[in-house]
Amino acid sequence: MANRVTVASVIAAVGIVAVIGTMATVTSADDNDGNMLSSVKVSTVCAFTRYPEKCEQSLKHVVSDTSSPEDVFRDALNVALDEVSTAFQRSAHIGKDDATEDLRALARVKPADVVRHVKDLRVWVSGIMTYVYTCADGFEKPELKEAMDKVLQNSTELSSNALAILTRLGDLMPGKAKDLQATLAGAVGHDRRLLGWQIGDAEEVTSGGRGLLDEIVGVANANRKLLSDTLDEITGMSHGANGRRLLSSLGSRISSAQGDDVLARHQLLGVSPDDETDNAARRNLLSTELESIASTSAEANRQLLAAEELPDELAGKRELLSRTLMGIDEAATEAKRQLDEATTENTMSGDHRVLTTGLIGTFDEIQDGRSGVPPSDFPKWLPATQRRLLQQTQKPNTVVAQDGSGDFKTITEAITAVPNTFEGRFVIYVKAGTYKEYVTVPKNMANIFMYGDGPTQTVVTGDKSNAGGFATFASATFSAEGNGFICKSMGFVNTAGPEGHQAVAMHVQGDKSVFYNCRFEGYQDTLYVHANRQFFRDCEVLGTVDFIFGNSAALFQNCLMTVRKPGDSQSNMVTAQGRTDPNMPTGIVLQGCRIVPEQALFPDRLQIATYLGRPWKEYARTVVMESTIGDLIRPEGWAEWMGDLGLKTLYYAEYANTGPGAGTSKRVNWPGYHVIGQADATPFTAGAFIDGASWLQSTGTPNVMGFTKG
């Protein structure tokens, strides 16, 4: 336990210093004060934290007033790694600690790259904080828990400070905030000439706009033929999955004005504007086109780089083609950023029209030039809704079957047999059957894809519970700890029943994990979304008390929440979210879901109290949107946890829900409860909330990045 605290504290300190090193590096060229740069920045950044004194105290031995930015960053990492090495020597088990891999990854991140990875870093630090309080919550006796909270206070406060700095990074870099925001939005590249172009006076805009346009034109002229020619080669690869995905990525770019040809779109965007053109429509179309170009170019680049083998004609061009796609992605991202930040009066200025329509035209010409193949002739099977990894039959690396017809009879045996040296996604097929075992996909085992014959055909079952002597964390029938875990068409059950109290069917903490067409059955604490990011699609969750709980960024899309009949004197709560810090990017989002009673509850659904959720921790965050809510939900909607805990600091929101239980006129009047509009709901869509555009699309899971309703 002490080792876990040490590592958490070190990671928090490294996170703070890495960010400061980044800020100093970026701003040093603009600051002629030299010697006082680091100390000034430390006091500035610490002012944004929840524990400013602890922040400055933790850095005073690392940062000096004579250190260069590069020295600050390097020395801070060396100090941190020395301390972790000492922790390694004290315990052989520390290498498997939940936080150590993140520390190693952070140690490899260059100062300039911290900004690029800020979304991941915020998730990682939040995960560390969650692991720490999970440890404390494991002590049931109040006096022991209070003592442990004091032990953990230092690491908790340091982690909170690191998280605050990462969250406010854009405000801490004077003169570079817009460049930072472009980077946070997904732009990449270490040698971008685009940096420094900000919306300011007309002269700067004109100069920057022309420079960016020149770069786009240069990319097009130099590499248009390369793109057009090599796309066909990729498509013709003998093992063409990556090629088809790349072609699809480039070929299915959406058009906001469906049915319009390129000329009509360009006229709307302003190449040949007339006085009656609607600027708002033009701006929306322009923004959509730019976002689509950026995302499809980035996805094409990812698929190109992920291809294990390429034809000889293409292999030598991989780097150049990748740089070209990256350049298009960067240019589109930068153009969209400036469009979104520009004032309404300047939105359709000459520069914006030339810049954005030039980029869109370039992309269209690359498409039209694909070796004489017109876009309309793209194969019909390529639409994004059908290009789904999880909807295709996967050739498994390993088969599990209870009857002996596979490679193993248990899931645990199959997981244990996964080679440590295996690269890529390891596929495990679990044939129909009821598997009575407790399964863990360990943290060091990433990118496992496990699928069964259906959520009621392939079932993993257990009966551990709190009443049976197991801590909540240890009661899980199945625990998915490895990053990138994907599961399709399986069921997970905890049969302890209402009398078992806390009894987990599925525990998941692996970052960027996906569950598709799965079923989670239990009563209290059925599904433990512990930490990091997860996406659930077309799943069913059955339970009673707090049956979806934890502190990950978990998004449920098109799922069925089936409320069961609880034990005597119990009420039902669908969610219990556990955010402990206002800067954590975590929460539970139900989007396009249905909340209904099971058959056994139906006759008593109006007598037994059922709520959308209650706040497990002080800053609990839950959003229910575009969902159908049954009449079993009480008019007040939400329940207290313990007195007024979290009622002022939580964030509960509802948007565009329907059904007899969706009325909000009688909802709770807590300061933290909100009925929101589309603008406030947007940050809780898959593309924004779990950063889905950067990873979810590549899993092939059916998904909607934005809103499910028009």
Domain ranges of the chain: 2-174, 202-385, 388-543, 578-710
Tokens 């944004």, residue located: 48
Nearest CA among 145, 126, 161, 141 for reference residue 529: 126
In whole angstroms, give the CA distance from residue 328 to residue 323: 9
In whole angstroms, give the CA distance from residue 478 to residue 494: 9
Helix (H, G, I), strand (E, B) or coil at 402: coil
Q: Would you give the end-to-end CA distance of the chain in angstroms? A: 50
- Residue 562 token pair: 């089936």
pLDDT at residue 701 in the model = 86
In whole angstroms, give the CA distance from residue 526 to residue 511: 19
Alpha-helical regions (H) of 375-529: 411-416
pLDDT at residue 154 in the model = 73
pLDDT at residue 139 in the model = 67
Regions in the chain scoring below 70 on pLDDT: 1-42, 44-45, 61-116, 138-140, 144-145, 148-152, 169-290, 292-293, 296, 299-300, 303-304, 306-321, 323-325, 327-328, 331-332, 334-335, 338-339, 341-394, 710
Residues involved in catalysis: 525, 546
- Residue 62 token pair: 């690392």
In whole angstroms, give the CA distance from residue 386 to residue 655: 29
pLDDT at residue 19 in the model = 52
Tokens 């980077």, residue located: 183
Domain 388-543 listed as CATH 2.160.20.10: yes
The CA-atom distances, in angstroms, between 52 and each of 49, 59, 354, 363 are 5, 11, 47, 48
Q: Do domains 388-543 and 578-710 have the same CATH topology?
A: yes
Task: Indicate the fold that domain 578-710 takes in CATH.
Answer: Pectate Lyase C-like (2.160.20)
Distance of CA 53 to the CA centre of its chain: 32
DSSP 385: T
